[in-house]
Amino acid sequence: MTEAETPRVAADVAVFAFRDGAMNVLLVRRRYEPYESYWALPGGLLAPDETLEEAAERELREETNVTDTYMEQLATFSELDRDPRGRVISCCYLALVDGGRVRLRPGSDAREAAWRPLEPLLRDTEKRTVLAFDHDRILAYARQRLAYKLEYQNVAWSLLPETFTLSELRRVYEAGIGRAFEPNNFRRIALGWGVLAESGERPTGGRPAAIYRFADRRPLILAQSARYRRSA
């Protein structure tokens, strides 16, 4: 394989956060060609002295100022024509963060960094190319993984502040999975996971419901959730 044929390797990140009642994805506006001024997932080329996960964390920090997320590998995309400059293999990560915690600051190759509501963006990408490269497709794939993880794995804590009400938790689920849950059913399911604990905080005027926290943040399988889906 000659130098021209050796693919370059990149890491890209789909970061989700629950903000203003909706699931949002973090995008950056590209400063340079190709796709100059298009919005894209944060990411960039792997440096010689870092792993792919380190590259994903570094690019996210440099381009958006976001750090300390829940992060896991999503998939590696290797279609031949995904970058007009030549072959680039992209290892993509899924990251989840409490949207109230982060302060965006665009940097390096990014002209802007912004949260975008996920649902309208996905609807747009079904009609036309919206994001740079194959990021429309990667975003759709990441959203599937997000829904799957919420439904079957103990990961919702990463999208929430330390304490929350069951209604707030339910709204995260509705936004992440893309369908409504009947509140009493959801309450029964969520408490059946065995990972929530009452926080001990006393509800205040504007927050009359009981306040919970995740007592267990291990990546357990949430059997109750799976069972609910079956019978739904």
Active site residues: 112
Which residue in the set 32, 49, 85, 103 belongs to the binding site for its own copies (CB under 8 A)? 49
Distance from C-alpha of 191 to C-alpha of 154, rounded to nearest angstrom: 12
Q: Does residue 80 bind its own copies (CB under 8 A)? A: yes
Kindly write down the DSSP assignment for every residue of the chain, as one continuous string: --GGGSPEEEEEEEEEEEETTEEEEEEEEE-SSSSTT-EE-SEEEPPTTS-HHHHHHHHHHHHH---S-EEEEEEEE--TTS-TTS-EEEEEEEEE--TTT------TTEEEEEEEEHHHHHHHHHHS--SSTTHHHHHHHHHHHHHHHHHHBS-GGGGS-SSEEHHHHHHHHHHHHTS---HHHHHHHHHHTS-EEE--PPP-TT--S-EEEES--S--B-HHHHHHHHH-
Q: Which is nearer to its own copies, 153 or 163 (CB)?
A: 153
Distance from C-alpha of 56 to C-alpha of 136, rounded to nearest angstrom: 18
Which residue in the set 5, 20, 127, 208 belongs to the binding site for its own copies (CB under 8 A)? 5
Shortest CB 76 distance to its own copies, Å? 5
Q: Does residue 229 bind its own copies (CB under 8 A)? A: yes
Q: Does residue 210 bind its own copies (CB under 8 A)? A: no
Q: Does residue 51 bind its own copies (CB under 8 A)? A: yes
Shortest CB 98 distance to its own copies, Å? 26
Q: Which is nearer to its own copies, 148 or 210 (CB)?
A: 148
Stretch that binds its own copies, among 39-47, 62-70, 124-132, 209-217 (CB under 8 A): 39-47
Cβ atoms 106, 64 nearer than 8 A: yes
Which residue in the set 46, 95, 96, 142 belongs to the binding site for its own copies (CB under 8 A)? 46
Q: Does residue 197 bind its own copies (CB under 8 A)? A: no
Residues from 102 through 131 that contact its own copies (CB under 8 A): none
Stretch that binds its own copies, among 24-32, 106-114, 164-172, 221-229 (CB under 8 A): 221-229
- Enumerate binding residues for its own copies (CB under 8 A): 1, 3, 5-9, 45-53, 73, 75-76, 78-80, 87, 89, 91, 152, 221, 223-224, 226-227, 229-230
